[in-house]
C-alpha cells in the first residue's frame, strides 16, 4: 500500500513547488473561494482569472456575464460586483461570473497545469476532504496569503481539511505542516473574527461578508474543482471517478 501524505503551505507563489506532484487545494476564506463556492451553489457558472485584462477577455466570450472582484481591496472600474459572497447570494438571476482577486484567483491561476485543483472554503471543508481521500496520493493545501504572510482563516481551513486526511491515514510531509496542525487544533471558527482580513472587512463597512463567511460552515456537501478555466461542483461520491494522482 503506497504512503499517502499532505502538506500545508500559505502563499500563491508556493504553488509551483507542488504543481507537478500533488493535488492542489486552494483556500481563500475571506473571500475569493467563498465567492466561488457560493456562486456555484446558487447556479452561477464561474471563471476565476488572474488579471483585470484577462477578466475582460473571458467575459467577452460569455453571454451576459458579470464581472466581480477586487484589486488591492478595491472593486475595479467597470466591474459589477466586489469580491462579495453576500452580494452573490442576493443575485436574482443565474448569470456567468468572471472573478479576479488579489490573492485567491491568483493562487488558482498559479495552480493551472496541476492534475487536480480543488477550491475550498469554510462552506465545503468536509466535502473537500471526502473528495480527496482515496483519490489522491499526495495533497497540497495552500492558503492565499498576501505580502509574503499567511492569513489565519486560510491556514485554519487548510488545517481542518488536513486533520480529516490524517484521520484516514494520510501523513504530514514536513515539520511546518505538523506545526500548522498543532497551531489550529481545537481552535474555533469564531476566532477568525480577530484576523486582519476580518478587521479589513469591518473597517471598510463590509460587515455582510464577514457575517456571511463565518455563519456558513460545512453547509455545502460538494467539492469544487477547477479545470484551469472554470470551476464546477462535484457531488459526493464522485471522487471514485477521479484518476489516481
Q: Domains in the chain, start-ordered, CATH in brackets? A: 5-231 (3.90.1560.10)
Whether the CB-CB separation of 120 and 161 falls below 8 Å is answered with: yes
pLDDT value at residue 77: 97
- Other CB atoms within 10 A of residue 219 CB: 12
| pLDDT by 10s per residue, the chain, length 245 | 479 999 999 999 999 999 999 999 999 999 999 999 999 999 999 999 999 999 999 999 999 999 999 999 999 999 999 999 999 999 999 999 999 999 999 999 999 999 999 999 999 999 999 999 989 999 999 999 999 999 999 999 999 999 999 999 999 999 999 999 999 999 999 999 999 999 999 999 999 999 999 999 999 999 999 999 999 999 775 444 443 33
pLDDT value at residue 237: 54
Angle at 142 between CA 59 and CA 101, to 5 degrees: 30
Distance CA 40, CA 6 (A): 27
Distance CA 78, CA 188 (A): 38
> Which of the 8 DSSP states describes residue 81?
B
Distance CA 213, CA 79 (A): 22
- Other CB atoms within 10 A of residue 202 CB: 12
Q: Any residues with CB less than 8 A from the CB of 68 and at least 6 apart, and which?
A: 35, 79, 80, 81, 82, 83, 84, 87, 88, 97, 98, 99, 100
- Other CB atoms within 10 A of residue 187 CB: 14
Grid cell, residue 124, equals 465545503
pLDDT value at residue 48: 98
Edge-to-edge strand list for the sheet holding 46-49: 66-69, 97-100, 46-49, 231-234, 223-226, 117-120, 23-27, 138-143, 5-9, 171-172
3-state secondary structure of 176: helix
pLDDT value at residue 134: 87
Q: Any residues with CB less than 8 A from the CB of 169 and at least 6 apart, and which?
A: 4
pLDDT value at residue 20: 98
Nearest 5°: phi and psi at 188? -100, 165
pTM for this predicted structure: 0.95
Question: Which residues, listed in sequence order, are joined to residue 71 by a DSSP beta bridge?
Answer: 74
Q: Any residues with CB less than 8 A from the CB of 202 and at least 6 apart, and which?
A: 210
Q: At what angle do helices 152-167 and 175-184 cross, to 10 degrees?
A: 100
Amino acid at each position: 500500500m503506497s504512503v499517502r501524505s499532505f502538506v500545508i503551505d500559505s502563499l500563491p507563489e508556493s504553488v509551483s513547488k507542488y504543481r507537478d506532484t500533488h493535488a492542489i487545494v486552494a483556500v481563500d476564506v475571506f473571500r475569493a473561494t467563498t465567492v466561488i463556492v457560493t456562486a456555484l451553489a446558487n447556479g452561477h457558472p464561474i471563471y476565476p482569472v488572474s488579471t483585470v485584462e484577462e477578466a475582460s477577455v473571458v467575459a467577452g466570450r460569455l453571454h451576459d456575464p458579470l464581472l466581480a472582484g477586487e484589486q488591492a481591496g478595491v472593486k475595479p472600474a467597470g466591474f459589477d460586483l466586489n469580491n462579495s459572497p453576500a452580494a452573490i447570494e442576493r443575485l436574482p438571476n443565474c448569470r456567468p461570473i468572471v472573478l479576479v482577486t488579489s490573492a485567491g484567483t491568483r493562487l488558482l491561476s498559479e495552480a493551472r497545469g496541476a492534475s487536480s485543483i480543488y477550491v475550498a472554503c469554510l462552506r465545503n471543508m468536509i466535502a473537500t476532504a471526502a473528495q480527496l481521500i482515496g483519490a489522491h496520493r499526495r495533497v497540497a493545501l495552500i492558503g492565499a496569503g498576501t505580502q509574503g504572510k499567511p492569513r489565519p482563516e486560510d491556514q485554519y481551513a487548510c488545517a481542518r481539511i488536513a486533520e480529516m486526511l490524517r484521520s484516514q491515514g494520510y501523513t504530514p510531509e514536513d515539520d511546518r505542516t505538523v506545526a500548522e496542525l498543532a497551531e489550529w487544533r481545537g481552535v474555533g471558527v469564531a476566532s477568525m473574527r480577530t484576523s486582519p482580513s476580518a478587521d479589513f472587512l469591518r473597517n471598510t463597512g463590509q460587515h455582510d461578508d464577514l457575517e456571511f463567511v463565518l455563519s456558513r460552515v460545512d453547509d455545502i456537501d460538494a467539492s469544487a474543482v477547477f479545470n484551469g478555466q472554470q470551476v464546477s461542483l462535484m457531488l459526493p461520491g464522485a471522487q471514485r471517478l477521479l484518476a489516481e494522482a
